[in-house]
A and B are shown apart, each in its own frame.
Chain A
Amino acid sequence: MSDATLTPEHEARFGDYVELLKPRVMRLVIFTAAVGMLVAPVGVHPVIALATIICIAVGAGASGALNMWWDADIDAVMSRTAKRPIPSGRVTGDEALAIGLTLSALSVMFLFLFGNAVAAALLAFTIFFYAVIYSMWLKRATPQNIVIGGAAGAFPPMIGWAVATGGTGWEPVLMFALIFLWTPPHFWALALFRNDDYTNADVPMLPVVAGTRVTRNQILIYSLILAPIAVLPAFTQVGGPLFLIVALYLNARFVLGAYRIWCRDDTSALADKFLVEKRYFGFSIAYLFAHFVALLVEALLRSLDLTFAVWPVLL
């Protein structure tokens, strides 16, 4: 018997299984779900809040594992994803599928028990949406994959809100719309300077299918649609003057960045190695984060009774 049969070359470590759950995506999910929960008008016990946020994070991670199981073939040919656990041979596809399905079921079940049926149903739909509608159906079929698939990443604040209130409202819908409309320009900016990756993998991202000119147009169009929607939460129960100022500043910069991308062509982009696109992509992450931080600060100010008595609440 050789030593190789005793010691598999690529036996998975625990960290490889954790990597299946896409910890970086989970961080964003935890943050947005927590904000959705904390800004809601109904308080949640800290233990229940922690337990339900863990459920939401694990559910999102499970859908990530299912996505990695399904997309292992295209992950292997893209430099950004080639080192993921399945293409690098550290975890088998079957293991990823088993982990994805098991954690999906457990997270939904526990969210139902710890939280409520509305939150659990939303989490189940999110997992289904990301794993089936986005990964299996849209991603390889249409250049609009990112537009509709973005909904999966937009649900966590709605789930957090549902844990607190047992329902939904304008505020969580606007938080959903903020992430939903932010996703396409964010990923198309990435796709502009990662074009080769998607071409090699045969994924019909917009720059691959329709060209970079159309992509630049679409980034500007989506930024212009996003800007008023992103400001709107200022005039709901969760908003206020601070959010309005922050949102106006962020959206002005976001639209300006999109306009700069729109003004350029491939020649000027190649000349400075996509500097404007890379900056816009980097800023877009800070943009989303800052909106949610502003909502959190508004909630804190409300809890300290530091609010304007005459602030217009339109929704």
Chain B
Amino acid sequence: MTASQQKSLDGTSDHEIYRRRGARNLALGGCLLGVVVMIFAVTIVKLSNGVDIRGFDHTFETVPGQVVE
């Protein structure tokens, strides 16, 4: 067993597998960040276009101000 492999058993080394998993985790993190940015951007666009932001409150409003139970 080489020195670097011995170190990897202690969880302290930069063994090849950690680098490989690190790259994968970074890429996945990038994707998740992309999703967050996308949701944020779409939210800003929809709100600036005047989309109704009220949550559904179990009533239907066919005419604004007149609630149908």
Contacts and interface: CB of A to CB of B under 8 A. Distances in A.
Interface of A: 1, 3, 6-7, 11-14, 45, 47-48, 50-51, 54, 113-114
A14 B38 contact: no
Interface residues of B, number: 20
B33 interface: no
B17 A47 contact: no
B45 A48 contact: yes
Contacts of B27: 14
Contact of A11 (B1, B17, B41): B17
B37 to A, nearest CB: 10
A50 B35 CA distance: 12
Contacts of B15: 6-7
A3 B49 CA distance: 58
Nearest to B34: A54
A114 B42 contact: yes
B5 A51 contact: no
A51 B38 contact: yes
B58 interface: no
Contact of B5 (A6, A48, A50): A6
A45 B5 contact: no
B54 interface: no
Contacts, number: 38
A14 B41 contact: no
A26 to B, nearest CB: 15
17 contacts: A3-B1, A3-B5, A6-B5, A6-B15, A6-B17, A13-B20, A13-B23, A13-B24, A14-B24, A14-B27, A47-B41, A47-B44, A48-B45, A50-B38, A51-B38, A54-B38, A113-B42
Interface of B: 1, 5, 8-9, 15-17, 20-21, 23-24, 27-28, 38, 41-42, 44-46, 49
A113 B23 CA distance: 31
Nearest to A12: B24
Contacts of A51: 38, 41-42
Which 10 A-B pairs have CB atoms at the shortest separation, nearest pair first? A14-B27, A47-B45, A14-B24, A7-B17, A47-B41, A51-B42, A51-B38, A114-B42, A45-B45, A3-B5
Contacts of B42: 47-48, 51, 113-114
A262 B63 CA distance: 64
Given A3-B5, A51-B38, 18 more contacts: A1-B9, A3-B1, A6-B5, A6-B9, A6-B15, A6-B17, A7-B15, A11-B20, A11-B21, A14-B23, A14-B24, A14-B27, A14-B28, A47-B41, A48-B42, A48-B46, A113-B42, A114-B42
